[in-house]
Structure 1
Amino acid sequence: MDSQSNPSTRPVSDVMIRFDRVVKKFGDNVVLRDLSFEVEPGEFVTLIGPSGSGKTTILRLLMTLERVNGGTIQVGEEYLSHMEKNGKLVPADEKHLRKVRRRIGMVFQQFNLFPNMKVLQNITEAPIRVLGQSRDEAEEKARSLLEMVGLSDKIDAHPSQLSGGQQQRVAIARALAMEPEVLLLDEVTSALDPELVAGVLAVLREIAETTDITFLCVTHEMQFARDVSDRVMMFDRGQIIEDAKPDKLFTDPDHERTREFLHAVLDRA
């Protein structure tokens, strides 16, 4: 990973997510090109665009599943990709990455539940082990979250006994149990049968409306993006080509590539 040769500023504290000239390469393939954007605390920002445009790579960088090749990433008042050492900004070590990553939760396309654990333990395992919560505290929070996602009656079920939509709602509860400041959503309905999508999206809509969590969402559910987002960013070839309020972007986009993409996606819906 390249270090930032000219660290220009301390982290900016009035944003929750900040990408500053981020570059990400896989071999000779440049996936993100000098990408810069900001997300304010409590904002719900959705990323749309064709497959391969770099959307999921952004989430993977925030989850530290990938490392930047250039530029910096900030979460709140802390750098994620870098840390200060002897007055200079250098690539972050694992300890620093783990510390900042605790502020971030992610819900994946696949539910990634532990098949050998019941629903309650799936939700309480990480808060007990990572956050140091007592079992009683973790279980009380888990029961509250299961009520929020409409699954109080499934507390003793194993994942194999749940529908895909129910498993995804457990995964959402599990992410929330870690008390994240930022929640990343990666095509969370793409593995679901169509009739199960509405229930999961309704849960996410309620969370967005009733918490101050900052959301960064990758989705092909255009109606959901339009209904819930504060802003929508259109990606193409590793760049943001349009960033606007949903009503503007979906009804009167400025960029021809955005119009082409929306026409293709909405025609398939």
Structure 2
Amino acid sequence: MATDPTDSPPTHDGADAPRPEPMVCFERVVKRYGTHTVLDELDFSVERGRHVTLIGPSGSGKTTILRLLMTLERVSDGMIWVDGEPLTHTRAANGSLRPADEKHQRPIRRRIGMVFQHFNLFPHMSVLRNITEAPVRTLGQPRELAEQRARELLDMVGLADKALAHPSRLSGGQQQRVAIARTLAMEPEILLLDEVTSALDPELVSGVLDLLREIATTTDLTMLCVTHEMGFARDISDEVLMFDAGRVVEVGSPEQLFNAPRHRRTQEFLGAVL
């Protein structure tokens, strides 16, 4: 069904002082591929600094949400807002809303960083260059400053001695650590994590998850995470959303959702994966 986007994201009425705009807000978002509806009038928001994890069966629309935020896909209907600013639309001179172009989306997208399932490192570049290339070329940072920050991040992810190595000389877990450092080098305010351990051998998973736990507890990043690692979701989340068939079927704290799920579909899913 077509939506009629408003010119501001949903607000919360009440006697208390107004709450700040959510950092991320999906307003009746629909995503279709042909006749297949992946997201079905999706409404949800993420407050600044909060960590929200999306769980659910494969194909339920979780990764599509991250791809829409990164503008790798376009919404079929509805609107997405980032910190009170429309990501998906711009206002024409006559006041009407129209789909946003790249020029409008670029500065908003720079506030968002995404770590993908696959590392996508440049094989011909050293680890250091993989991390510094985007800050230098996109953010305009002086190379010396970018390299200093890259070395700090490599130290944080436990790879200070790998700065001059090439990706082919690293394990999968090490490559994913470099990918995380590369994302953080762009100084995002919102961090998207898309099944970041799914391409790793089982013995490498815990190290990457420990690193992400540290990032979650030591930074003020807003985080939106898609994962099948339920223990990790329990540890880092302020809120967990259970998805099925493009809709949120249950929302709760990790304690409530994992210990006493209310919805039958959540109970079935957790019964299969825990």
Determine if the TM-score, normalized by the shorter chain, exceeds 0.5: yes
Aligned to 2:228: 220
Matched residue of 2:25: which SS? strand
Once the two structures are superposed, residues 40-76 of structure 1 have per-residue CA deviations (whole angstroms, 9 ceiling, x without a partner) of 0111100000010000100110010100011100111
Aligned to 1:43: 50
Verify: 1:229 aligned to 2:237, yes or no: yes
Among 100, 107, 111, the residue aligned to 2:119 = 111
Aligned to 2:8: 9
> Percent same amino acid at aligned positions?
66
Once the two structures are superposed, residues 122-162 of structure 1 have per-residue CA deviations (whole angstroms, 9 ceiling, x without a partner) of 00000000000000110011011001101001001000000
TM-score (norm 2): 0.94
User: Separation in 2 of the partners of 1:129 and 1:249?
Assistant: 43
- The question of whether the paired residues in 1 share the 8 Å contact of 2:28 and 2:79 is answered with yes
User: Separation in 2 of the partners of 1:180 and 1:89?
Assistant: 27
Once the two structures are superposed, residues 182-234 of structure 1 have per-residue CA deviations (whole angstroms, 9 ceiling, x without a partner) of 11100000000111111101111111111111110000000000011111000
1:10: how far off?
5.7
Verify: 1:23 aligned to 2:22, yes or no: no
User: Separation in 2 of the partners of 1:48 and 1:73?
Assistant: 20
Verify: 1:79 aligned to 2:78, yes or no: no
Q: 1:133 to 1:4 in 2, by over 3 A?
A: farther
Matched residue of 2:45: which SS? strand
User: Given residue 43 of structure 1, which amino acid in structure 2 is its aligned partner?
Assistant: R
Aligned to 1:160: 168
TM-score (norm 1): 0.96
Once the two structures are superposed, residues 223-255 of structure 1 have per-residue CA deviations (whole angstroms, 9 ceiling, x without a partner) of 000011111000000000001000100000010
Structure 2 residue runs of 5 or longer lacking an equivalent are 12-19
Aligned to 2:143: 135
User: Given residue 239 of structure 1, which amino acid in structure 2 is its aligned partner?
Assistant: R
Verify: 1:125 aligned to 2:124, yes or no: no
Matched residue of 2:49: which SS? coil
User: Separation in 2 of the partners of 1:107 and 1:11?
Assistant: 28
**Count of residues paired in the alignment:** 265
1:84: how far off?
1.9
1:8: how far off?
4.5
Matched residue of 1:184: which SS? strand
Structure 1 residue runs of 5 or longer lacking an equivalent are none
Runs of 4 or more consecutive aligned structure 1 residues displaced over 4 Å after TM superposition: 10-13
- The question of whether the paired residues in 2 share the 8 Å contact of 1:35 and 1:238 is answered with yes
